[in-house]
Amino acid sequence: MKLLTRSPEETQALGEALGKAGQPGDLFLLWGELGAGKTCLVQGIARGLGVQDSVRSPTFVIVTHHPGRLMLYHIDLYRLDNPLEVLDLGLDEYLEAGGVCAVEWADKAMPLFPREHLVVELRHVGEQERQIQLTARGERYVAILAQVRRQMGLE
């Protein structure tokens, strides 16, 4: 699924649809250069999960927890240079905790993630515009994309 968002609000709306579709154990892997809108998308995911607190990039703390309908584990791998450092985070514990994991800079550690997940690639294509490619890997994520299409009126 590929789409264009024209504002931070539209990027957050996509994230909100993902959050509303989220179920325990879901894994959203986000890729994109600095400023591409990864954290903006996660803010929308948080809203879709009913998270009340503000969501900022956890670049310096690496992982933040946000309670909502499901716990949101917001993980940022930007500062990690070696995939083995990701193992030290106890990533598998977050994945098995029954919440939703949103991982920024996931491309730094792709071999460490389960085979089934949703990849979200964000690219600048203008001042406020982002091209967003969502790739489902596994039946659960195909279903999520179908639900997102319906929620956003893209069918």
Q: Is the pLDDT of residue 80 over 90?
A: no
Look up residue 110 and give its two tokens.
Answer: 């792709």
Please report the sign of the dihedral spanned by the C-alpha atoms of residue 28, residue 34, residue 37, residue 39: positive
Domain segments of the chain as ranges: 24-121
Domain 24-121: state its class.
Answer: alpha beta
Distance (Å, rounded) from C-alpha 59 to C-alpha 55? 12
Q: Is the pLDDT of residue 110 over 80?
A: yes
Contact 63, 90 (CB under 8 A): no
Q: Is the pLDDT of residue 121 over 90?
A: yes
pTM: 0.93
Residue with tokens 């607190």: 53
Work out the average pLDDT over 12-41: 96
**Per-residue pLDDT tens for 19-30?**
999 999 999 999
Contact 22, 118 (CB under 8 A): no
Distance (Å, rounded) from C-alpha 1 to C-alpha 149? 9
Greater confidence (1 vs 95) lies with 1
